[in-house]
Structure 1
Amino acid sequence: MRTMAGLGSELPSGPVAPMLLSWLTGLGAGVIVLGFLQKILYPYFWDDFWYLLKVVRCGLRMEMYRLKGELVTVLDKFLIHAKKQPHKPFIIYEGDVYTYQDVDRSSNRVAHVFLNHSTLKKGDIVALLMSNEPDFIHVWFGLAKLGCVVAFLNSNVCSISLLHCILSCEPKALVVGADLLGAIEEILPSLPEGVSIWGMKDSVPQGVISLKEKLSTASDSQVPRDYYVASSLKATYLYIFTSGTTGLPKAAVICQLQSVMGSAGLWAFGCTSDDIVYITLPLYHSAGSLLGIGGCVELGATCVLKKKFSASQFWNDCKKYNVTVFQYIGELCRYLCKQPKREGEKDHRVRLAIGNGIRSDVWREFLDRFGNIKMCELYGATEGNIYFMNHTGKIGAVGRTNFLYKLFFTFDLIKYDFQKDEPIRNEQGWCSHVKKGEPGLLVSRVNAKNPFFGYAGNKKQTEEKLLRDVFKKGDVYFNTGDIIVQDQENFLYFWDRTGDTFRWKGENVATTEVADIIGMLDFIQEANVYGVAVPGHEGKAGMASITVKPNKSLDLEKVYEQVVTFLPAYACPKFLRIQEKMETTGTFKLLKFQLVEEGFSLLKVSDPLYFMDSLKKAYIPLTKEIYDQIMLEEIKL
């Protein structure tokens, strides 16, 4: 046995000991200095490092699948979890628990109904019109097990817009939730004969097949993998409707690769299989379906699904179900901050909130009021090929970039002419970069690594989203339609939207769709629709400037009835401006820049202005009293 004396005799002695001590001291001091300099010069170095490590890891995993010839899709991941953890809760809905095994068996029943009672085959398109409920996922996964492409229809659209969406994706079948059968019954005579309509209800209208009735006797046995195995990660998986820069909603093509990448979002922000994720966002949007449900599948986590967001029930639900993560849009957080204060508002287990569109002031207020929750802001368009994640939690930023990130995603911010509504090109025809701190149009390079799949059955609209010959001959970029600012620290901030789209209540509103609906009235000459900023509100509220036909009278009651009948609530113009004449460009395009600048200001606008009063259910004159109440946030829009 060694003694303490013996151990001491092994240590360096003589001149070596002071040298070693001096060297170790110098090394320690150097490490401290380097750490100090890193925090000053590169304060986000480690945040960037760990985030990029995740990006690389995700990319390597995808590459390994490709090299091995294995295509592990979101559905494959779900089936793995259903086998490994069959009794773990997957969905909690209105107090009912659906385990991974339950959802697997229910989706098997859906698949067997269509196998036995329809002619659906792999690659066929099926439209899904359903609210947030477990059956949305059962039908989605059941059809996926047949290799069908599922088109998610916005449950808010109706009439002409709904018919357009169904016709544009050319489905072989349409599945409708019990609460939405009325919307389908209205357009049933206009649907093509070849489309079979299935209702999730025992008693259905004539011409509709009861899916619920057939599910009661269907088998829940596994569907052979041959039916759903993906031929390629670029194979079409879903259609998700999005309002682009013009016209009616378009069916964005979502391939298997995009769904797999979307499902990695929760993991990238640090979520684990132990998390309980609260989803109140609609599943017909990519945020709720790809990031939310897909993210839970990627992790093997539990999802608490809500039919609709309720500000008054939000924190009670979080406490009741031990929620640790929730998804948001900016409006959601603002509504929560507007709720009356209660005791114990920080008494919850929520640690992360993941979403987009939260204003800096709401962000700060939310943290002050509800506790130390990491807000994980992200940026991305449903059909886009560029994504940003604010992995540092910097308030106000939608993401962060550096030279390493740009190796994976090639994007640029270019100069934009807001009056002409187009990128600025120099004498040689090339676009120019903006300086840091200046707003610029976000464009993303389209190549094999970051493809753009466009819209179903519409080559023209797909082409309109592309910019060609941007910096050199032959290059192609995806035009996001968003104006972004990059600061000196490489944080990215959303500034505004271009073109004929604005965002309100978390939804994209296509101005041409709204204008077309208003223009159907026989006394309307022209309608020019745009978004205007309103104090205390995210996005922009809809405003329509209209002219009346000669020898016709303006009928405000009919205008109100028209918009509420044919448009979703978020798309209805909150303000009307009556003009004698519309200003147009040389190519007869309606001018909007000046109208947007003037907004609904009584000081800037001499034309008659009207306000949509939801209580009176009418457009009423915008008086100074009403205007002041709106500016003071005393009127809820």
Structure 2
Amino acid sequence: MSSADIITLPQILSRVPELVSNLPSLVKGSRMAKITDTSKPLGLGVAIEHATSINPNGAAVLYQDTELTYKQFNAWANRIADYLASIGLKKGDTIAVDVENRPELLATVVGCAKLGICAALINTSQRGKVLVHSFNLVQPKAAIVGAELVDAVEEIRADLDLKENFFCFADQDTLENPGEVPEGYKNLASEIKDCSSENPASTKQTFLRDPLFYIYTSGTTGLPKAVVFNHGRWEKAYGGFGFSAVRLTKNDRIYTTLPFYHATGMVICWASAIANAGSVVIARKFSASGFWEDIRRYNCTAFGYVGELCRYLHEQPAKPNDQDNQVHTIVGNGLRPSIWKDFKERFGIERVVELYASSEGNVAFTNVFNFDNTVGFSPVSYAIVKYDKEREEPVRDSNGNMIKVKRGEAGLMLGEITDKTPFDGYTDPEKTEKSIFRDVFKKGDAWFNTGDMMRDIGFRHAQFVDRLGDTFRWKGENVSTTEVEQILDGFDGIQESVVYGVEIPNTNGRAGMAQVRMTCPHDEFDYQGLCAYLKQELPAYAIPVFLRINEQEMETTGTFKHQKNKLKDQKYDLTQQDNPVYVLLPGESCYQQLDSQTQQGIDGGAYRF
């Protein structure tokens, strides 16, 4: 960390004039972010209806050659809600939604929201056992699947608890033409054609604590957890980001390539557009080469990012027209300090609304003051406490209390659990309790363990440092080491595995690495078979980049936990170990044994991970 990143009082005061000019929206957003009224109708459906009332003919959603006004989009969502109600679905039910980024996904989520149905936002890259787990975990009453994902669902459909009510959207613009869907699925676009386009009364029956959707997170251990994201939490993000932090107008357009099964796209980016009835422009997939062409094509003035996205854009060859764009604001998380200022200057970006939040967490930071190299400011009660990485636990003093770090120091981020900052938890009560620290600073208090190391840089600002425990972040996704270990151990020829994240120079996050013990010599192992198996069972970002072959018993602690800190330090460096190491290089279909020349290439940035 640079000492220049420490925030001082003069720096804070220099930002006051800008904040004063935006005071009305800041106050409105702050009030919404602190709402505790359990009797007030609120949430996504209410917000869409409000945006429709103030800007009915304004563009709500743009995708490829489709442009929907708020009036059209709202009516579409109403027809979906009307149909779902007609088949007996009601408030409190859950529907599994497995659709890639396109308008059908957004309309479905709003339709569910207006009925009080919880949409389980399936990670569209999930396959095999993980997909079965995600479906069955939430006990859905129905499933809505995009035709582009039917093959993945069909592979595991026999293992699903859900046996009926499978709906499908054809992989096209279904608002104009319902198209054809595979056998065994009802065509939802056809089913809703004659349903009511009027706002349902049920929209006004969603309140603070009513579930809006499930977002799947790897949390800290095990298979994906379904995190409850309720209407109140959405409302707080809608206020905090839409009005206070991002501050887009009805003339702004925010470009989003991030997957909408994640909160950054679904909540932060979209709510920022909805707040003042602006537009969201969505792309099915991220393309570094086509990104700025899309920005110009749709006249976008903002975009959402995760750190990897900005790095990929920055690595593209410089062009004379890099600043030929209307983007003034970007919002997201994970922009690396090493490229932060250069990225802003290269593309002419005025504001970076970096944020820190998690799907399940109760503490959030937002860069409302527009400082560089920070996740921003948090108005809620949090603490950054000293953490012992060897013992894997916070440090406590002689009285049993945790110890807050000093300014400039890093520690474990905790969020205080209060009425205003509740921790809604997971579907599993035991997992919920494991995420809570009690008696932290005084008897009876309770704090959410974020699992993240953060640095205190003063005036309630922080810098993200790293993820702790059994999760690491790669390609903008959280990877559960336990989940990958379970998949690896299921392959014939692997006796035992331990998975962890390692740093590769000039990349963001940590690449997956697995130490494995095999039943045969490493040069006789079936690496082709392993790669085919991993591609079937895991999303691409979770497949280990490196394999470290261990011929001996694996080293464990006294409590039989693998010694990951030593492994992380040695990573794939051949000079620090005698173990053979294999690598899955970018663009290659199979692992190859790492040699010193290839290692130098990796460390020198010759390969684009």
User: Under a length normalisation based on structure 1, what TM-score does the superposition of the two structures give?
Assistant: 0.88
The Cα shift of 1:544 comes to 0.3
1:596 corresponds in structure 2 to 568
- Give the 3-state SS of the residue equivalent to 1:145 in structure 2: helix
Q: Distance in 1 between matches of 2:392 and 2:577?
A: 23
Q: Distance in 2 between matches of 1:585 and 1:464?
A: 21
Whether the aligned pair in 2 keeps the contact of 1:51 and 1:391 (CA below 8 Å) is no
1:521 corresponds to which of 491, 495, 499: 491
Whether the aligned pair in 2 keeps the contact of 1:74 and 1:298 (CA below 8 Å) is no
- Give the 3-state SS of the residue equivalent to 1:303 in structure 2: strand
1:33 corresponds in structure 2 to none
1:327 corresponds in structure 2 to 304
1:573 corresponds to which of 541, 544, 548: 544
2:55 corresponds to which of 61, 68, 85: 85
Whether the aligned pair in 1 keeps the contact of 2:512 and 2:543 (CA below 8 Å) is yes
1:123 corresponds in structure 2 to 92
Q: Distance in 2 between matches of 1:47 and 1:472?
A: 39
1:29 corresponds in structure 2 to none
Q: Distance in 1 between matches of 2:145 and 2:242?
A: 29
1:377 corresponds to which of 354, 367, 379: 354
The Cα shift of 1:611 comes to 0.3
2:215 corresponds in structure 1 to 240
Which piece of structure 1 moves more, 564-573 or 303-312?
Answer: 303-312
Over the aligned positions, Cα root-mean-square deviation in angstroms equals 2.3
Which piece of structure 1 moves more, 570-579 or 254-263?
Answer: 254-263
- Give the 3-state SS of the residue equivalent to 1:185 in structure 2: helix
Alignment CA distance shift 1:453-1:50 (3 Å): farther
Alignment CA distance shift 1:530-1:43 (3 Å): same
1:258 maps onto 2:258 in alignment: no
- Give the 3-state SS of the residue equivalent to 2:535 in structure 1: helix
Alignment CA distance shift 1:53-1:547 (3 Å): farther
1:618 maps onto 2:590 in alignment: yes
2:194 corresponds in structure 1 to 218
- Give the 3-state SS of the residue equivalent to 2:60 in structure 1: strand
Tell me which amino acid in the other structure corresponds to 2:598: I
1:107 corresponds in structure 2 to 77
Whether the aligned pair in 1 keeps the contact of 2:254 and 2:281 (CA below 8 Å) is yes
Q: Distance in 1 between matches of 2:408 and 2:305?
A: 27
Q: Distance in 2 between matches of 1:288 and 1:420?
A: 36
Alignment of 1:67-82 (within 5 A): 69-82=39-52
Alignment CA distance shift 1:167-1:203 (3 Å): same
User: Under a length normalisation based on structure 2, what TM-score does the superposition of the two structures give?
Assistant: 0.92
The Cα shift of 1:412 comes to 0.5
Q: Distance in 1 between matches of 2:207 and 2:79?
A: 26
1:277 corresponds in structure 2 to 254
What are the superposed Cα offsets for residues 227-260 of structure 1, whole Å, 9 maximum, x if unpaired? 3333531111111111111011111111111101
Tell me which amino acid in the other structure corresponds to 1:78: I
Overall identity of the aligned pairs, in %: 35
1:164 maps onto 2:136 in alignment: no
Q: Distance in 1 between matches of 2:455 and 2:266?
A: 29
Whether the aligned pair in 2 keeps the contact of 1:263 and 1:292 (CA below 8 Å) is no
Q: Distance in 2 between matches of 1:144 and 1:59?
A: 23
Tell me which amino acid in the other structure corresponds to 1:526: E
Q: Distance in 2 between matches of 1:566 and 1:139?
A: 27
Tell me which amino acid in the other structure corresponds to 1:90: A
Which piece of structure 1 moves more, 295-304 or 53-62?
Answer: 53-62
Which piece of structure 1 moves more, 285-294 or 107-116?
Answer: 107-116
2:508 corresponds in structure 1 to 538
Alignment of 1:125-524 (within 5 A): 125-201=94-170, 202-215=179-192, 217-225=193-201, 227-230=202-205, 232-264=207-239, 265-269=241-245, 270-400=247-377, 405=379, 409-456=380-427, 458-488=428-458, 490-524=460-494
- Give the 3-state SS of the residue equivalent to 1:92 in structure 2: strand
Whether the aligned pair in 2 keeps the contact of 1:122 and 1:228 (CA below 8 Å) is no
The Cα shift of 1:273 comes to 2.0
Q: Distance in 2 between matches of 1:51 and 1:450?
A: 25
Which piece of structure 1 moves more, 614-623 or 327-336?
Answer: 614-623
- Give the 3-state SS of the residue equivalent to 1:529 in structure 2: strand
The Cα shift of 1:65 comes to 8.8
1:555 corresponds to which of 514, 526, 548: 526
Q: Distance in 1 between matches of 2:595 and 2:494?
A: 24
Whether the aligned pair in 1 keeps the contact of 2:384 and 2:454 (CA below 8 Å) is yes
Alignment CA distance shift 1:123-1:537 (3 Å): same
What are the superposed Cα offsets for residues 515-569 of structure 1, whole Å, 9 maximum, x if unpaired? 0000001321211000000111100000000112479963322222221111000
Q: Distance in 1 between matches of 2:91 and 2:14?
A: 51
- Give the 3-state SS of the residue equivalent to 1:341 in structure 2: coil
The Cα shift of 1:326 comes to 0.8
Q: Distance in 2 between matches of 1:499 and 1:506?
A: 17
- Give the 3-state SS of the residue equivalent to 2:591 in structure 1: strand
What are the superposed Cα offsets for residues 14-36 of structure 1, whole Å, 9 maximum, x if unpaired? xxxxxxxxxxxxxxxxxxxxxxx
The Cα shift of 1:196 comes to 2.0
1:10 corresponds in structure 2 to none
Alignment CA distance shift 1:181-1:61 (3 Å): closer
The Cα shift of 1:624 comes to 1.2
2:4 corresponds in structure 1 to none
- Give the 3-state SS of the residue equivalent to 1:462 in structure 2: helix
Tell me which amino acid in the other structure corresponds to 1:74: L
The Cα shift of 1:51 comes to 8.1
Q: Distance in 1 between matches of 2:349 and 2:29?
A: 28
**Which one scores higher on RCO, CA 8 angstroms, separation ≥ 6?**
2
2:3 corresponds in structure 1 to none
Which piece of structure 1 moves more, 306-315 or 509-518?
Answer: 306-315
Tell me which amino acid in the other structure corresponds to 1:66: D
Alignment CA distance shift 1:113-1:230 (3 Å): closer
The Cα shift of 1:39 comes to 3.8
- Give the 3-state SS of the residue equivalent to 2:304 in structure 1: strand
Which piece of structure 1 moves more, 327-336 or 53-62?
Answer: 53-62
Tell me which amino acid in the other structure corresponds to 1:134: P
In structure 1, runs of 5+ residues without a counterpart are: 1-36
Tell me which amino acid in the other structure corresponds to 2:579: D
Whether the aligned pair in 2 keeps the contact of 1:112 and 1:219 (CA below 8 Å) is yes
1:607 corresponds to which of 579, 591, 602: 579
The Cα shift of 1:58 comes to 3.0
Q: Distance in 2 between matches of 1:417 and 1:195?
A: 50
Whether the aligned pair in 1 keeps the contact of 2:437 and 2:446 (CA below 8 Å) is yes
The Cα shift of 1:50 comes to 7.4
Q: Distance in 2 between matches of 1:490 and 1:484?
A: 12
Q: Distance in 2 between matches of 1:377 and 1:231?
A: 30
- Give the 3-state SS of the residue equivalent to 1:175 in structure 2: strand
Alignment CA distance shift 1:591-1:353 (3 Å): same
Whether the aligned pair in 1 keeps the contact of 2:440 and 2:447 (CA below 8 Å) is yes
The Cα shift of 1:47 comes to 6.3
What are the superposed Cα offsets for residues 580-613 of structure 1, whole Å, 9 maximum, x if unpaired? 2211111211110100011111111210000013
- Structure 1's consecutive aligned runs of 4 or more residues displaced over 6 angstroms after TM superposition are 47-53, 62-65
Query: How many aligned positions are there?
Result: 590
What are the superposed Cα offsets for residues 202-246 of structure 1, whole Å, 9 maximum, x if unpaired? 54444322223323x332431531x33335311111111111110
What are the superposed Cα offsets for residues 123-159 of structure 1, whole Å, 9 maximum, x if unpaired? 1101100100000011111222222111111101111
